[in-house]
């Protein structure tokens, strides 16, 4: 199946089969998809919580709006995508150190200095206020969400992006504030059940001429 066929065939799952767990290989691939998601200036301002246990679900379910609770109870995996409460110097230093360790500068100190300076410049452009920085980091989180949804589809798994939750409750349930994190978006992943009515519905999108322009 090519990528165009994949996006036409995937759908937002409305009900999961609780009897079909994910394999460790599937979980490992989804983890790598999240970890290698792109972000502006490689800022990686995120942390991903992969919730598969009964105990983890018990923490998460009360933080959701009612119509999302059963999805999370039944899905074998729920991912909470959180961002940092502040993109601080310690994080920027850690990014630079990892890039050096991964050989991105080839021992060239000027290249290292240039990469650090460029990243700090663009972080600064998007950090003129705490709110603006949070909004910028949230946009990075949604890039990771998109990769997760498509990655799940390539593994023939169903997925549901979930914005129906109470951030303050979720942050408290997972102790995010103490970790310097803030919840942004949630997604469940698994196998749809026979009750997933959306699987049988035709996909509906506006006509190409209304949403696409080639110049």
Q: What single-letter DSSP state applies at residue 40?
A: G
Catalytic position from the list 132, 163, 168, 203:
163
Does the active-site annotation cover 32?
A: no
Which helix H or strand E contains 28, and what residues bound it?
Answer: helix 24-35
Active-site residue, 99 included: no
Query: Which residues contact residue 149 at a Cβ distance below 8 angstroms, ignoring those fewer than 6 apart?
Result: 10, 159, 161, 187
113 labelled catalytic: no
Question: Residues 71, 86, 109, 135: which is the catalytic one?
Answer: 71
Angle between the N-to-C axes of helices 130-154 and 24-35, in degrees from 0 to 180, rounded to the nearest 10: 140
3-class secondary structure, 135: helix
Listing DSSP states for 163-181 in one string gives --B-HHHHHHHTTTGGGTE
Question: Which of the residues are catalytic?
Answer: 14, 71, 163
């Amino acid at each position: 199946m090519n990528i165009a066929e994949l996006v036409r065939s995937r759908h937002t799952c409305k009900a999961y089969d609780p009897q079909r767990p994910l394999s460790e290989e599937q979980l490992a691939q989804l983890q790598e998809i999240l970890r290698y998601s792109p972000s502006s200036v490689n800022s990686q301002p995120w942390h991903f919580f992969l919730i598969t246990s009964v105990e983890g679900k018990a923490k998460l379910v009360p933080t959701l709006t009612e119509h999302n609770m059963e999805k999370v109870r039944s899905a074998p995996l729920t991912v909470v995508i959180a961002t940092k409460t502040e993109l601080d110097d310690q994080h920027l230093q850690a990014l630079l150190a990892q890039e050096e360790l991964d050989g991105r500068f080839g021992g060239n100190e000027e290249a290292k200095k240039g990469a650090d300076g460029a990243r700090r410049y663009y972080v600064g452009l998007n950090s003129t206020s705490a709110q603006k920085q949070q909004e910028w980091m949230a946009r990075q989180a949604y890039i990771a969400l998109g990769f997760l949804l498509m990655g799940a589809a390539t593994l023939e798994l169903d997925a549901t992006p979930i914005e129906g939750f109470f951030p303050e409750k979720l942050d408290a349930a997972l102790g995010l504030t103490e970790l310097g994190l803030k919840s942004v978006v949630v997604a469940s992943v698994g196998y749809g059940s026979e009750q997933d009515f959306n699987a049988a519905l035709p996909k509906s999108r506006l006509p190409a001429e209304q949403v696409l322009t080639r110049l």
